[in-house]
Structure 1
Amino acid sequence: MKKSLISLFVAAAIASPLANAQTVNLAEAVTMSLSADPRIKEREQLVESARALLDEAQGNNGLRISANVFVGLAPAVSGGFYQNGATSGTTPRSDGPFPGGLSDWTSLQFSIIKPLYTFGKIEHYSEAAKGNIDVKRGDVRISQADTVMDVKRAYYGYLTARDSRRLLEDVQGKLNDALSRVLRNLKADNGESKQSDLYALQAANGMLAKYHSQAQAIEKISLDGLKLLTGVGLDANLTVADDSLTPVALPKGSLTDFENTAVANRPEMAQLEAGMRARRALVAAKKSENYPNLYAGVIGQANYASRRDTLNNPYVYDPFNNAGLTPVVGMKWDMVQDVSNAQIAQAQAELEALNYKTQFAQAGIPFQVSEAYNQVQANYDALKQLADGAAAGRRWMIASLADFSAGLEKADKVADALKTYALTQAEYLRTVNDYNMDVAQLSRAIGETN
């Protein structure tokens, strides 16, 4: 019974890391990163902030309530109905209880105003706020594109480093076999190997060891970057689904097709259009600040002093003890002419600056597409040539090792064959990585986010 329990615990301990392991392909890694990246969430919150600005602009068309209430002191009354504290009329009162005849006084002034017409202020500021929302949405799309590029860079970089490490370990094993043979021959002093053979193979071994260490470091760094981007955490057990690095499909379409797609789809173009719309609205809003606001509403006030009695006399007004309410229709200016003109000039200049930026973007985006397109074509042709070269290098290596085993080849030639194959195959892997990233860059340049 105890043995059975121990076996279960051991099995559970072995299975636990496997159960927690997570394997993802590139599409899954991109999806996870788009959901986890805090940079995207930051941009999304800025969109919400822009929406709040729109609500603020539109809210200025609603009721405006102003109220002020305070407690103070009412002075002693002199003259009129009262002379020297004595009643001289028909309405009694008493001063105090504070020194000097002061008494308490509570006052309330309030107004409820509804704008009727603002000469376009609310409409123009609202339109500017809507354009700002679209600009912030474009920032979200740009941040998403940045994340996709980071994920692809980490994913392809990991596959490249892993395949390079495997390649170097394979070549290292064959080199070790050759080294062992040379050492045996030198120890036996049978004349089949020379000391220079040992030095040639040891030199090649040092070079391979360097590249192997670099590949291991890049493999670890790339996988950690992928863990960070996908949000699983650096301590998570994450693996990739691809067994090896392979070139992605060559994008279909002409350069002109890609350039037209970019102009239509790039978030920067949509941002510039939205920015122009917002700036034009802002210029119009600043100009409308020179005009008044028409409004209707209700204003009123109430004052109360506990030591004073209400005077029911239309000819006598006591500012410390009264109440009043009236509907109003009015017109209100709130501007400083010189400041308003400066604000208009500033908004107009910013609009013109954005117009020049748009002109540059319309020329620069096609250039970015052309650059990425030509890089894709160049690396696509290069990797086909390198694939043939790497295959020839491997045949050379195998043939040299076979001849060396048969005593027909010198060690320095074997070392050259090993190094040439390793470097050619490593260069092929690097070119595949560059090609895949160029395809990713082309997708981004035409406005695709995946």
Structure 2
Amino acid sequence: MKKSSTLSRFMLALAVAWPAGSLAQTVNLAQAEQMSLSADPRVKEREQLVESARALLEQAQAKDGWRVNANLFVGLAPQVNGGFYQGGAPSGTTPRRDGPFPGGLSDWTSLQVALIKPLFTFGKIQHYSEAAQGNIDVRRGDVRISRADTVLDVKRAYYGYLTARDLRRFLEDVQSRLDSAVTRVSHNLKEDNGQSRQSDLYALQAARGMLGKYLSQAKAIEKISLDGLKVLTGVGMDADLQVADASLAPVALPRDSLAELQSRALLDRPEMAQLEAGMRARRALVAAKKSEQYPDVYAGIVGTANYASRRDRLNNPYIYDPFNNAGLTPVVGVKWDMEFGVVPAKVAQEQAELEALNYKNQYAQAGIPFQVSAAYQQVQANYDAQRDLAAGAAAARRWMISALADFSAGLGHADKVAEALKSYALTQAEYLKTVNDYNMDVAQMYRAVGELK
């Protein structure tokens, strides 16, 4: 019992001390997609642009709140001692002295404050807020597009890795068989037993050279695809990442009809939602620019205060001294801020942008169903192609095995073996490539529909 407890503590300490990066992480396609959606900085960038657009909406809505305009400065004013002349006699104890600078200069502190609340803006705030909300919806569409691109990139890397790995394993098997045949022919030529010809060796060596090229390319693509998957999932290129699938297999053929897919695309594609939001925003901007022709009705409080320390205050309601006074009053007013030649031009600009979006919407209504149709036809074509190639690859394998058996029995020549091996290698490689293309075509089709599948 004591030994078991000691061993358990040792294993726990080893698990804690063992670096996490040294353990292999195995993921399937769905897990890789979720990891990438959480880690992809492109998606996070688009999400931050949504937050930026939301801040613009808050800014537009805040225009309906209280505004403060304040100006405080310190300057110079003429110094004045004494009061005002009344009836030919000075008031106060010291007569006022006139001149360029009576009594010299004084510091002057001035403060003007206006606290304003808009009452009615003829729709400016409402229309600009609607435009800002439309901008948010457009940015949200960008996030959906970025997420769809990320999923597509993950599938491309995942299927690409499976294709290259299966091709590499297959080519290594064929190469092993080919090397055995080369060894047998070389032995027969060395023994000069008449079972092989020199041309047989050349044929096998030529096939091995071509096979080596494809094998090197498969290894490179396997490494590149796995590194790409590591980057997309955010685990880092130094991590030990493995995929759960034992081999590449074609995904199920979608059962949706073309008409159903096209109908869903016109409803679900983020580009369609973006167009609708963009048109809504543009219509609001046109209305907002038109409302710029009208004033803003407001209420508030306006005050001013001026103080000059070396300037006597005039206690006379009929005389205003701009350097030494104070006042505060509630106000109701109307304010125009319009450039007569500019506003119509801005309205025309926004109207033109709206019309451009209308034409873009018309193109999308025709173009998106075409995209779905093209992707759908490609799916159907590669689905049939991979089935035919699967049958062809199976037949080529039987041909290769038969040719190798005949050669081993001394009933065939090596050039027939080389031809059979080459045919099998090319057919199987084309099959794997077509399965990869078919799987990606399915992904592209759902991408065209606007669905993450």
* TM-score normalised per structure 1: 0.93
Amino acid at match of 2:262: E
Q: 205, 210, 217: which is aligned to 1:207?
A: 210
Going from structure 1 to structure 2, the CA distance change for 1:123 and 1:16 (only over 3 Å counts) comes to closer
Q: 73, 90, 98: which is aligned to 1:88?
A: 90
1:279: which partner in 2?
282
Aligned partners of 1:438, 1:233: CA distance in 2, in Å? 28
2:55: which partner in 1?
52
1:371 aligns with 2:397: no
Amino acid at match of 1:444: R
Q: 33, 38, 50: which is aligned to 1:35?
A: 38
1:114: which partner in 2?
117
Q: How does 1:41-440 map to 2 (within 5 A)?
A: 41-77=44-80, 81=84, 88-90=90-92, 101-440=104-443
Deviations 1:387-441, CA, capped at 9 Å, x for gaps? 1000011111111111100001110000000010111011000000000000000
Aligned partners of 1:363, 1:404: CA distance in 2, in Å? 60
2:432 match: secondary structure: helix
Deviation at 1:81, TM superposition (A): 2.2
Deviations 1:347-384, CA, capped at 9 Å, x for gaps? 00000000000000010000010011000100111111
- Moved segments of 4+, more than 4 Å: 15-19, 91-95
Amino acid at match of 1:446: V
2:205 match: secondary structure: helix
Q: Is the 8 Å Cα contact of residues 94 and 308 (structure 1) preserved in structure 2? A: no
Q: Is the 8 Å Cα contact of residues 80 and 102 (structure 2) preserved in structure 1? A: no
1:62 match: secondary structure: coil
Q: Is the 8 Å Cα contact of residues 76 and 101 (structure 1) preserved in structure 2? A: yes
1:146 match: secondary structure: helix
Deviation at 1:99, TM superposition (A): 9.8
Unmatched runs of 5 consecutive residues or more in structure 1:
none
Deviation at 1:120, TM superposition (A): 0.4
* TM-score normalised per structure 2: 0.93
Deviation at 1:82, TM superposition (A): 6.8
2:341 match: secondary structure: helix
Aligned partners of 2:183, 2:360: CA distance in 1, in Å? 67
2:47 match: secondary structure: helix
Aligned partners of 1:438, 1:379: CA distance in 2, in Å? 8
Deviation at 1:20, TM superposition (A): 2.0
Q: Is the 8 Å Cα contact of residues 159 and 244 (structure 1) preserved in structure 2? A: yes
Deviation at 1:252, TM superposition (A): 1.3
Aligned alpha-carbon RMSD (Å): 2.2
> Once the two structures are aligned, what percentage of the paired residues are identical?
74
Deviations 1:104-152, CA, capped at 9 Å, x for gaps? 1111111000000000000000000000000000000000000010000
Q: How many residues align?
A: 436
Deviation at 1:80, TM superposition (A): 6.5
Going from structure 1 to structure 2, the CA distance change for 1:305 and 1:371 (only over 3 Å counts) comes to same
